[in-house]
A and B are shown apart, each in its own frame.
Chain A
Amino acid sequence: MSRFVGLDIGSSATKGALVCDGQVLRCVIVPSMPDMLAAARQAVAALEAGDAPVLTTGYGRALFEPRIAQVSEITALAAGIGRLHPEAKTVVDIGGQDSKVVRVAEGRVADFAMNDRCAAGTGRFLEVMSRVLHVPFDRFDQVAASDVAPLPVTSTCTVFAESEVVGLLSGQAPPAGILKGVMASISVRIAALARQVGLAAPVFATGGAMHSQALVAALSDALGMPVQVPEAPQTVTARGAAWLCAQRQSPNRSTGV
């Protein structure tokens, strides 16, 4: 049976995808912490994949055995978006502890950039802000729907931004305005990254954070062009890994990745 597993062992969530004859049968998402390896095993078990070959990606990709190969998230993301949306030219991914912009051509990486050594512009930034504001992520859109103007929040450093937000809160600033400012801040940061690789439309955005429509809107604003979100944005990389697994296991394997 031609079943293949892609496992994206990320810093905050582990995503698994099972494909059969190119079609996605099942996707699962489990929290990675505190034990990434246990999370990876749990994800594979939940996929009910039997002894299907596994290709891993993500921060914890070297942990899981047995695997047929491991690839970087950028390669898997390009493979995933290339299969789902062959027309995509640019894909932006906000991960748990990094964010990346990849220029893609037919499922391959044409250029890429990652945020520098700082949590600003990553999912961690959103997590920290969510905690300080006492607004859980699934309420982001609801709170941001208020027509309060966004308040400026620094995009340089998560730790600085956190104390800045605490300062704003102590000055009785409305949480909705701060949250909008947070979204604008992370979007500006990512837009700068996107310009490094040369932004080309159409632009897609992936990662769990893209479940927030307000954030997608802020990102579109900062990029100055519409951003599309693929269905199930959090598992695009895992699905890409599963397709790469199939490709690598295929007897008439092409020279591709």
Chain B
Amino acid sequence: MNPTGPRGLAANQRLQKTIRNQVLFTRAAKMLGRPVAWVTSGSPVEILLAAGIIPFYPENHAAICSARNMAADLSDVAEAEGYSRDLCSYFRIDRGAMVTQKTPLGRMVAPDVVLASNNICGTVQHWFSITARHFEVPFWFVDTPFTEASPSESDVAYVRDQLVELAEQAGRLGGRRVTEQRLSRVVARSREALVLWREVLATAAARPAPLTSFDAFVHMAPIVSMRGTRRAVRYYRHLLAEVSARRTSGTAAVPQERARVVWDNIAIWPAHRELKRAFKQAGVALVADTYTHAWTVEHLDPSDPFTSLARVYTDILLNHGALHRHKVLARMVREFGADGFILHSNRSCKRYSLGQLGVKRAVSDETGALGVVIEADMADPRAVSIEHLMQRLNPFFEALGGGT
């Protein structure tokens, strides 16, 4: 409790309810015979939804396991099988969960198919093929070429061909043919949620910021795991109304906001609460991050669903080089009026963390903002030390005019 601070977002309760409903819906749909697909966060899920297949997100599930303090135990199971601790912690947690069937969500819903795309990393290709073998179900895969910046037309055409084939297979499994018309409706819903989410995040450009990335890290759950559904659109309409009202009334997420910073990489779930509190105490508002902003792509075009899906799912931050990532981060520093930026060197996510020292220097040179690199892990508490994080963050906060 912070007597000087405002209440947390009212949407926090709605979020819990929304996630719970989604879990119940998935379970009920499975019981009624609807097929379930385990998918990566960067999967073209709109095609599955149009075919009547229900998606389940192991990455999201792993983050929830980490937040509920189950990460170490589940990882141990995967490590005992011989999977190295140097592998992605989301994978190790998911592996532990699929083997033990332990989940904070009550019961695991087994997949009828597994879908992955290498647009977020190469690890998921192996992770999801292991999952497919474990459950003895088909493994679908979308190959998205890695490009320095925007994909070329031939890259988009290559991915589009795969999506058309995926739609045929999904239609057969789901029992509902994926017509352009059906797909277009799902894409329109996805687009609506993405635009709402972008507007939610954009409110943090106000001074003081009405919400921080610590809120966004949590409230991104529906955009990751429910985009393409009406549930996500409804959710973000409410959230946008609330944060817009906070902006209008000048309600600060961080009372006495003295400095503003931007974040790169995935959240540190095991330290989420402690970090949120430390930032608040120091008067430092985390106003934007490359992680939650990754779901703000706007190329989605309901009038040309296949091509626009191909473009969106290839044109993903992690599917581009460090030069592009530096530009995105520098733009974010400017747009959100940040004084500094934090690069979370995430032990689990090599694709996200590679080249960060160069990115740090380039963004500092370009914007004049102070950068700091902190080492942690998105989900494995054994690789996260609050003490070590604060040793770097305290001088950083002080240099920005925040701190105790």
User: Which A positions have Cβ atoms within 8 angstroms of B?
Assistant: 69-75, 98, 108-114, 116-117, 196, 198, 255, 257
Contact = CB atoms under 8 A, between A and B. Distances in A.
A72 B364 contact: no
Contacts of A74: 395, 398-399
A135 to B, nearest CB: 30
A75 B388 contact: no
Contacts of B403: 71-72, 75
B398 A117 contact: no
B399 A108 contact: yes
B375 A75 contact: no
Contact of A75 (B360, B364, B399): B399
Nearest to B385: A117
B394 interface: yes
Interface string B173-194: 0000000000000000000000
Given A72-B395, A108-B399, A116 B357 contact: no
Interface of B: 357, 360-361, 364, 370-373, 375, 385, 388, 391-392, 394-396, 398-399, 401, 403-404
Contacts of A69: 404
Nearest to B357: A196
A69 B282 CA distance: 13
A70 B404 CA distance: 7
Contacts of A75: 395, 398-399, 403
A109 B399 contact: yes
Given A117-B388, A198-B361, A109 B398 contact: yes
9 contacts: A70-B404, A72-B394, A110-B370, A111-B364, A113-B373, A114-B391, A117-B375, A257-B398, A257-B401
B350 to A, nearest CB: 16
A4 to B, nearest CB: 18
Pairs of residues from A and B, 9 with the lowest C-beta to C-beta distance, nearest first: A74-B395, A72-B395, A109-B399, A72-B394, A75-B398, A117-B388, A75-B395, A116-B375, A72-B398
Nearest to B383: A117
A111 B391 contact: no
Contacts of B395: 72-75, 109, 112
Residue from A108, A114, A196, A198 having most chain B Cβ neighbours under 10 A: A114
